[in-house]
Amino acid sequence: MIEPVLSSAVAGAVASGRPVVALESTIFSNLGLPSPANAEALDRCIAAVESAGAVAAITAVLDGHARVGLEPHEHPRILGAARKAAERDLAVAVAQGWEFGATTVSASVALAAAAGIAVFATGGIGGVHRGAEMTGDVSADLDALAHHHVVTVCAGAKAFLDLGRTLEYLETVGVPVLGWQHDDFPAFYTRSSGLRAPHRVEAAGEVAAVYANLTRPASGVLVGVPIPAGDELDAAELDRVLVRALEDAEEEGVVGAAVTPFVLGRIATATDGQSVPANLALAENNARVAGQIAAAIAG
């Protein structure tokens, strides 16, 4: 089993039962956001976690070691990263001594669980892709949520996915899906996907209670936090952009993990860069809520 290396701050917090929030590194790399927005996202998310009294634990692979918590002088290594590591890649990354691997949602959830961290924050999770009945393309994020005892805080799943089937998948594998102070499941850049969240919660203490009472001790919880109202993109325009981007991806033979950066790049171009500040706002908001939940779980 993988044994992540914890930073001194994270190790101390875990040992003393203080709240910790794990953060993925893909969103802070140039695979997630362009420079200098990725550096701004990193600073804002760390500050948001700390504002709730929690410790931020960035996950990554560095020099062949799975890391949970990085030192400030190591942050520049994240910003220029160009190689992803999902959960399936972690064992290979360690065995082969990868210089750097930007951890995805699935890898970050796995590392958080291995480190004894109860809460993880990200932008948006992966899910069931459109046309999955033909391609079988289902993100490993969903399997990670089902098999690691971690609360994942996100702005829903990315809008170009099949969100209805994503929710059905999560129901099948027994992962509670909670809408944070909102009735609908969010769709990343927009506050509502048009689908109802299975359950609504109003406060961090409710999430902590759900986490404490799971019937499957190895399973996690998903909290969907809508993007702040003033930062969401126009839903109708976004839908038009998504349809065209997915058509282009199919024509160009873009499949699997390459679909997400391809579509997000097209969205950024089509919205004249408006998607970047929206992404910053939702990531920061998720980190703040995650900090509150971590504090409630720590008691």
In whole angstroms, what is the distance from residue 101 CA to residue 8 CA?
21
24, 87, 232, 284: the active-site residue: 24
**Active site (annotated) includes residue 84:** no
Tell me, yes or no, if 158 is annotated catalytic: yes
> Which of 21-25, 69-73, 271-275 has the least mean pLDDT?
271-275
Catalytic residue among 84, 87, 158, 232: 158
pLDDT at 166 > cutoff 90: yes
pLDDT in tens, 33-71: 889 999 999 999 999 999 999 999 999 999 999 999 999
Q: What residue type is assigned to position 144 of the chain?
A: A
Token output for 110? 């796995």
Residue 8 CA to residue 241 CA, distance in Å, equals 44
Global confidence as pTM: 0.93
Q: Provide, rounded to the nearest whole percent, the portion of the chain with pLDDT above 70.
A: 99
Please tell me the distance from the alpha carbon of residue 46 to that of residue 206, in angstroms, as a whole number: 24
Superfamily of domain 5-298: Indigoidine synthase domain (3.40.1790.10)
Average pLDDT over residues 105-130: 96
192 vs 129, residue with greater confidence:
192
Kindly tell me if the per-residue pLDDT of 138 is higher than 80: yes
Residue 254's pLDDT is 82
Domain map (residue ranges) of the chain: 5-298
